[in-house]
Structure 1
Amino acid sequence: MSAPFGGSGRTAGGLPRLPTPPSGWPIGSYATYGEAQQAVGFLAEKEFGVTDVTIVGVDLMLVERVVGRLSWGRVLGTGAVSGAWFGLIIGLLLGMFNNQGFAWQPMIGGLVLGILAWTVFAAISYSMSRRDFSSASQLVAGRYDVLCQPRSAEQGRELLAQLALGGRPAG
């Protein structure tokens, strides 16, 4: 593969510049990302060439966890608090760079304008969203496969079999 202006089409770390499907042979499959990370960590401890390894999330799903109920009071209160912090920071910066020394007026003005602006923006956003709850979204996989380049896949499988046996050598 070559890049339009020369070069290999890969970054300095060897990663492709464009989204590319993973390659390699499966050497392990795990229910959680943490278990897949642990497997790759085990390979690294055994001085295995982990640059040949890729963790692939399979059966991706978007999970939206509801974290609370929204109401006008909560939305406006959150908007006011966010605006207060932003306004204070802007006012502080303006007050510090005042030619007559530090002045309190820019801080108070920033606080008031920040509260007003953020409260209005929060009200507009909430009235247009038509959602009465807040949530956090997360992309998760049904399983996590560990792939390895063919040149070292068999060695990787043997090492991960040791991990499955509690870290003892197989045999």
Structure 2
Amino acid sequence: MGDMTSQPMRPGLRAALSLQYPMSLGLYDSYEEAQKAVDYLSDNEFPVQDLLIVGTDLKQLERVTGRLTRGRVFGAGALSGAWLGLFVGTIFALFDPSGFNILNVVSTVAFGALFGMVWAAVGYRLTRGERDFTSVSQVVAAKYEVLCEHKHVQRGRELLTEMDPMRAAMQEVRRAQEAERARTDGA
């Protein structure tokens, strides 16, 4: 089984996220359905430590949330800098040998806001307006496949057939079609 990401994984993590000879137990439209199947297997004393839920057909969704203007950039930079200034100013004021001085905290907040605004403006200027919007993004899977070590696959399929006989029959038809397609493509 190949790497699931292009980023290097720690050796212990690689072992935890891989199976020696994985075989498919089922393909599900949502993570909740795959989780329900694994939970059912667990409830029936199946060795769930030999299972892996894999999200397939990954898509990145990006929801545009608004226009990015200079005012928003400066405001966000000032707010971020002010929070940092409040934190640093409070820490220094708490440990000041002459006692807590609120004026020092306020001046640190003001300096932090100014610094944050300048820093944000420089970053915005460097983009040259190539990304004048705000957004949130998420990677989602279209399908979730439950994989199992080959030595337990038969028992897992039997249990999942008991859980949902109609779904299991459709899964078996899909596996047979894929096997036939692989056989004809290889010939």
Give the TM-score range, shorter chain. 0.7 to 0.9
Deviation at 1:37, TM superposition (A): 2.2
Q: Paired residue for 1:73? A: 71
**C-alpha distance in structure 1 between counterparts of 2:16 and 2:32, whole Å:** 26
Q: 1:132 to 1:27 in 2, by over 3 A?
A: same
Structure 2 counterpart of 1:120, which letter? V
- The question of 1:142 aligning with 2:152 is answered no
Q: Paired residue for 1:5? A: none
Deviation at 1:94, TM superposition (A): 0.5
* Equivalent pairs, count: 155
Question: Aligned ranges for residues 1-171 of structure 1 at < 5 Å?
Answer: 11=12, 15-16=13-14, 23-129=21-127, 130=129, 131-164=131-164
Of the structure 1 ranges 75-84 and 125-134, higher mean CA displacement relative to structure 2 is found in 125-134
Structure 1 counterpart of 2:89, which letter? G
Q: 1:157 to 1:20 in 2, by over 3 A?
A: closer
Aligned-pair Cα RMSD in Å: 2.5
What TM-score, normalized to structure 1?
Answer: 0.78
Of the structure 1 ranges 96-105 and 155-164, higher mean CA displacement relative to structure 2 is found in 155-164
What TM-score, normalized to structure 2?
Answer: 0.72
Structure 1 counterpart of 2:96, which letter? N
Unmatched 5+ stretches in structure 2: 1-9, 167-187
- SS of structure 2 residue aligned to 1:118: helix
Asked whether the equivalents of residues 81 and 112 of structure 2 are also in contact (C-alpha less than 8 Å), the reply is yes
Of Structure 1 and Structure 2, which has the larger fraction of its residues in helix? 2
